Structure 1
Amino acid sequence: MKKRLNIFMSVFFALMLVLAGCTTTGDKADPEKDDDNKDPNVETPAEKKVLRTNNHSEPGALHPGLAQGTHDSWVIDHVFEGLTVKAPDGTIAPGMAETWDTSEDGLTWTFHLRDGVQWSNGDPVTAADFEYAWKFALDPNNASQYAYQMYYLENGQAFNEVGATILKEYNEAVEKAEKDGTEPPEKPVIAEADLQPARDKVGVKALDEKTLEVKLATATPYFLDLTSFYTYYPINKTVAESNPDWFKEAATFVSNGAFKLTEWKHKESLTLAKNDSYYDAAKVNLDEVVLYVIEDNNTAWQMYQTGEIDLLDNLPSEVTGKLIADQAPDFHNAAELSTYYYNLNSDVKPFNNPKVRRAFGMAIDRQTIVEHVAQGGQMPAYGVVPPGMPDVSGDFRENAGALFEENYDEAKKLLAEGLAEEGLKKLPELTLLYNTNEIHKVIAEAIQEMWRKNLGVENVTLENVEFQVKLDREQSGDYMISRAGWIGDYVDPMTYLDLWVSDGPYNDANYSNPEYDALVNTAKTSMDPTVRMEAMHQAEQILMNDMPIIPVYYYTRPHVYKENVTGIYTLINRQPSFKFADIE
């Protein structure tokens, strides 16, 4: 019975398949008839153009005034726009501002916004949004790490330092609580009555909806360049004042750039969509961009190979070397205005001693690092300012040359002298902190071995943490040695040299030298290009003599993207831009 039923069912299904096949063929037999039935006014929807890439780390803050790393800035640079933008050739071009004027003395700038520029929610972008954003970064209650970039504004530093004594006492109390293992005190809030008079004196003012007046403390040759940097981006004042947490979720996120944030699966992915309110939307070809949050470079590379990622710029080092050797058509390598280095915490023994710091810096074989470990065409670094920075004439790095050398015998001698000066018979246990990333891991392992072999240091332990955790620990001084890197915010050596002034917000090495501070101040305030550059050359030499940071190499930007992806460009101090990218 069962067998007969199976035969019957087989015949039945076979017949149905034949009939179904005839019906399908009949429906498609007359394509001209189908075309006649189509509504000529209805377009067939085009397939979405979606670019997939990897942001590598979860953003810390997608807020122009609070961002502090490339895990923030790559997204921010695509969803916001400043008064000016960097064109693909690196020149300054109009952004939200269509035109600008400057006084003869270079102290007053007047920016005129474009007609009709809008936020992603439809609100008009106004000069008041820029004034609000710049003063937000300076407000001491907001603790912006990049507040110092606004010190170029008249009275900017004075506003940021209102209540400085109170905040200093608070920070000291927090450090003491951490050492004692006790509960830290609550952060004090500087009263609005104390802030408002200083806020009103800051040199940025909206004269009307479309006109922004900026007054500088001193004439700054690279100020226009700064206006394309993310700390100078606007913030929707109305949105921010009604919801201070607007930037933490996609549902409340408002921006003014080529893209807008439409989905944020924390620690998984971010989705950006084309912002139809953007004034230049006609040139934006992509419908969406998906940025995954994948810390493991090997995993991301596998996803690229299997077609799950279209653009990737954090490559495993051995992959980079092979792609270069194979001259892979989808591989691209760009010069980058950035330096890979190690912080040495000058507040912690033995790195409070400059001889010890120099010993560790002189015991690294940089050529081996770039040729056999990093493998991305990087250059060994013997100064902190990378190539590509202008001097009075020529290149700043080329003119300065190498400011120290590798010398293992001298390194051993300096280490012994430094330890003796600190009353130490041997080194304490040392920990090298780095953020989770395969390239940082293999470099740390290589340097750990070099210190063992070249310096006789056997007790360096490696510790890896998430990128934001690393940043937080560096800021709090909770480390001994840490991996770091810096991409120039603007094209002038000052973007590096003002990092290590005493009490500088990014002075994670806790370095202090009054002579260095004075030279940096001279370079910031002088109107004479020759005086400026000479002061910066002297400052860099002092920094390398004291060596609170150890330069390792000058970055390149190796990256890959599929051959059907076009329009990607990489600026010397930015990550790859997909603003005008397309998928063919």
Structure 2
Amino acid sequence: MGNGSEPKGLDPHLVTGVPENKIISALLEGLISYHPTDDLKPEPGMAESWESNDDYTVWTFHLRDAKWSNGDPVRAGDFAYSWQRMLTPALGAEYAPMLYVIKGAQAFHNSETDDFSTVGVKVIDDETLQVTLEGPTPYFLNMLKHYSFFPVNPRVVEEFGGMGDRASRWSTFENYVGNGPFVLEKWVTNQVIRVKPNPTYWDAKTVKLKGIEFYPVENAATEETMFRGGRLHMTNTVQPDKIPVFKEKMPNELKIEPYLGTYFYRVNVTRPPFDNPKVREALAISFDKQLLVDKVTKGGQAPATGYVPAGIPGYATSDKVKFDPERGRQLLAEAGYPGGKGFPKAEILINTSEAHRKIAEAMQAMWKQNLGIDVGIYNQEWKVYLDSQSNLDYDISRSAWIGDYVHPSTFIDMFTTGNGNNDTGWANPQYDRLVAQAQVAKSEEERLGLLREAENLLLTDLPIVPVYWYTRVYLKDPRIQGWNPKLLDNHPYKYVSINAE
């Protein structure tokens, strides 16, 4: 498989990206696993059964007889330890707010208490875990599929540094202990990560592949060459200019599928002139998104007129951010830059990728044409780019968000004040209140209404520039079996096989 880039790491509590997710999903398994065909259905993982109370605020999970790859039994206490680790302030887990759905989790993470017993995670016995939530959350099972809820082996973590140690070496090649269908076999940085079947996995009999090799190939042309030469069964992406060719010449290999994600630019609102909302709105409405998806990306993407993408039951996309260059010029003039005059030097940060560069070049040209401003482009390798974004060391940054589960909260929650995935410097107390109210809403209708209000605020202040709503575009060897289109592109590898014929 093409993996796009070298992962930042394989500790599920310290990563935030898709390249990491693809590998971690082979090595670790949560209470609930990915369903092979439907992202809205829970699949038994470490929990063989579960039940909730009538209003979905208390969930009880019954663990199966499962083992870690070092032979340790997987216990309910391992999940309690792992979630406490995720929420430990010293660890600095960027995804920690994902767990705020649990009663008391936010207060513990914010150091309002250091007593984890105040958090709604209760170990009944080694096989039983009870979780109490802040409010009714019928979609909690789908949240549990995300790696931020995955367990780590407490004994191994403690051996190599402890709960709050960001530099812990438990997740290196030599020390990694998992509970998933595969274990690490080889890890050569920037070359390949290879996994092989885990003999201690509870459902080892279902695993069909002899191994998976993840290649960190950032160049789509190189990926295509590897695919054509039989070195890859699946690419991470496809060069946009080649999509029409593949449609005609290799229709069985080219896949264009629905994908719950948004491509957007983050804007660093702590730096002038981007601290001015008029400048941000001018940027957001002064490029032709339809032209961009038709002529540059070419993969059936849809222009993003809002932030939350289509595909979530009961939640319609916003049309608030439309192409309006005349208004963009007016806003820029009101901000003190008529015709772009006096606009300071600014740059778009991208991670190394020809596709990202072409999109940035198109944005650059359209902003020049419509607003009269000059914007540069610079690229960084994946890990460095992530650090620059987290440290607000950028003006405008190429970004994307793929849903962690099928619900608008996975998109909306991340822009609350101080959220580890916010990375814009933006803070809006009213937005924070709406998100907090949504977490404890008594009905799904009320929750969706509050999230809609929050999205509207986000699209008014615009610390982001929505660009397009994703499709999943890649090449797949027709011999691959058990790999089905998925809205979140999360695939349980244990069901995947290769037809040798």
**TM class by smaller structure:** over 0.9
Is the CA contact (8 Å cut-off) linking 1:313 and 1:557 kept in structure 2? no
Counterpart Cα distance in 1 of 2:492 and 2:97: 26
Alignment of 1:94-133 (within 5 A): 94-115=44-65, 117-133=66-82
Give the match for residue 372 of structure 2. Answer: 456
Counterpart Cα distance in 1 of 2:59 and 2:249: 50
**TM (normalized to structure 1)?**
0.81
Offset of 1:161 from its aligned partner?
0.9
> Letter of the aligned partner of 1:211 in structure 2?
T
> Letter of the aligned partner of 2:111 in structure 1?
V
Counterpart Cα distance in 2 of 1:533 and 1:568: 32
Give the match for residue 207 of structure 1. Answer: 124
> Quick one: which of 109, 112, 118 aligns to 1:160?
109
Is the CA contact (8 Å cut-off) linking 1:155 and 1:202 kept in structure 2? yes
Give the match for residue 531 of structure 1. Answer: 446
Counterpart Cα distance in 1 of 2:27 and 2:336: 51
Alignment of 1:62-77 (within 5 A): 62-77=10-25
Offset of 1:522 from its aligned partner?
2.1
Query: Greater relative contact order: 1 or 2 (C-alpha under 8 angstroms, separation 6 or more)?
Result: 2
Offset of 1:516 from its aligned partner?
2.0
The reply to whether residue 272 of structure 1 matches residue 187 of structure 2 is no
Q: Deviations over 1:249-302 (max 9, x none)?
A: 222111111111111111211010011211222221101111112211111111
> Mind listing any 5+ residue stretches in structure 1 that lack a counterpart?
1-52, 164-193
The reply to whether residue 437 of structure 1 matches residue 357 of structure 2 is no
Report which of the two has the higher share of helix: 1
Offset of 1:420 from its aligned partner?
6.2
Counterpart Cα distance in 2 of 1:255 and 1:122: 10
The reply to whether residue 355 of structure 1 matches residue 278 of structure 2 is yes
Offset of 1:202 from its aligned partner?
1.7
Is the CA contact (8 Å cut-off) linking 1:301 and 1:315 kept in structure 2? yes
Q: Deviations over 1:96-133 (max 9, x none)?
A: 10111212342221110112x11112211111111111
Counterpart Cα distance in 2 of 1:348 and 1:496: 24
> Letter of the aligned partner of 1:157 in structure 2?
Q
SS at 2:237 equivalent: coil
Offset of 1:327 from its aligned partner?
5.6
The reply to whether residue 561 of structure 1 matches residue 476 of structure 2 is yes
Counterpart Cα distance in 2 of 1:425 and 1:318: 35
SS at 1:206 equivalent: strand
Mark the structure with the bigger radius of gyration: 1
SS at 2:11 equivalent: coil
Identity of aligned residues (%): 36
Is the CA contact (8 Å cut-off) linking 1:56 and 1:293 kept in structure 2? yes
Q: Deviations over 1:489-508 (max 9, x none)?
A: 11111111112122222111
Counterpart Cα distance in 2 of 1:238 and 1:557: 39
Counterpart Cα distance in 2 of 1:381 and 1:264: 38
The reply to whether residue 331 of structure 1 matches residue 254 of structure 2 is yes
SS at 2:449 equivalent: helix
> Quick one: which of 254, 279, 297 aligns to 1:374?
297
Counterpart Cα distance in 2 of 1:247 and 1:468: 19
> Quick one: which of 329, 334, 343 aligns to 1:417?
334
Q: Deviations over 1:178-236 (max 9, x none)?
A: xxxxxxxxxxxxxxxx73xx223221122221111112122222211111111111111
> Quick one: which of 381, 387, 410 aligns to 1:495?
410
**What is the CA RMSD across the aligned residues, in angstroms?**
1.7
SS at 2:67 equivalent: coil
Counterpart Cα distance in 1 of 2:81 and 2:122: 9
> Letter of the aligned partner of 1:486 in structure 2?
W
Alignment of 1:298-317 (within 5 A): 298-317=221-240
Offset of 1:576 from its aligned partner?
5.1
Is the CA contact (8 Å cut-off) linking 2:36 and 2:491 kept in structure 1? no
The reply to whether residue 295 of structure 1 matches residue 218 of structure 2 is yes
Is the CA contact (8 Å cut-off) linking 1:251 and 1:262 kept in structure 2? no
Once structures 1 and 2 are overlaid, which stretch shifts more, 232-241 or 507-516? 507-516
The reply to whether residue 232 of structure 1 matches residue 163 of structure 2 is no
The 3 A distance-change label for structure 1 pair 311 and 71 is same
Once structures 1 and 2 are overlaid, which stretch shifts more, 232-241 or 380-389? 232-241
Q: Deviations over 1:307-366 (max 9, x none)?
A: 111111222111223223446211222111100000111111111111110101111111
Q: Deviations over 1:385-413 (max 9, x none)?
A: 0001122xxx422xx4x112111111111
Counterpart Cα distance in 2 of 1:318 and 1:258: 37
Alignment of 1:216-255 (within 5 A): 216-244=133-161, 245-255=168-178
> Quick one: which of 447, 450, 456 aligns to 1:541?
456
Counterpart Cα distance in 1 of 2:56 and 2:141: 11
Offset of 1:425 from its aligned partner?
6.0
Give the match for residue 182 of structure 1. Answer: none
Give the match for residue 143 of structure 1. Answer: 92
Counterpart Cα distance in 2 of 1:338 and 1:271: 27
> Mind listing any 5+ residue stretches in structure 2 that lack a counterpart?
162-167
Is the CA contact (8 Å cut-off) linking 2:34 and 2:492 kept in structure 1? no
Give the match for residue 257 of structure 1. Answer: 180
Counterpart Cα distance in 1 of 2:253 and 2:390: 38
Is the CA contact (8 Å cut-off) linking 1:364 and 1:447 kept in structure 2? yes
Give the match for residue 176 of structure 1. Answer: none
Q: Deviations over 1:424-479 (max 9, x none)?
A: 9611100100000111011001111111111111x211010012211111111110
Give the match for residue 266 of structure 2. Answer: 343
Give the match for residue 164 of structure 2. Answer: none
Give the match for residue 383 of structure 2. Answer: 468
Offset of 1:575 from its aligned partner?
4.6
Once structures 1 and 2 are overlaid, which stretch shifts more, 558-567 or 545-554? 558-567
> Letter of the aligned partner of 2:220 in structure 1?
N
Counterpart Cα distance in 2 of 1:344 and 1:138: 27
Is the CA contact (8 Å cut-off) linking 1:378 and 1:554 kept in structure 2? yes
Is the CA contact (8 Å cut-off) linking 2:255 and 2:475 kept in structure 1? yes
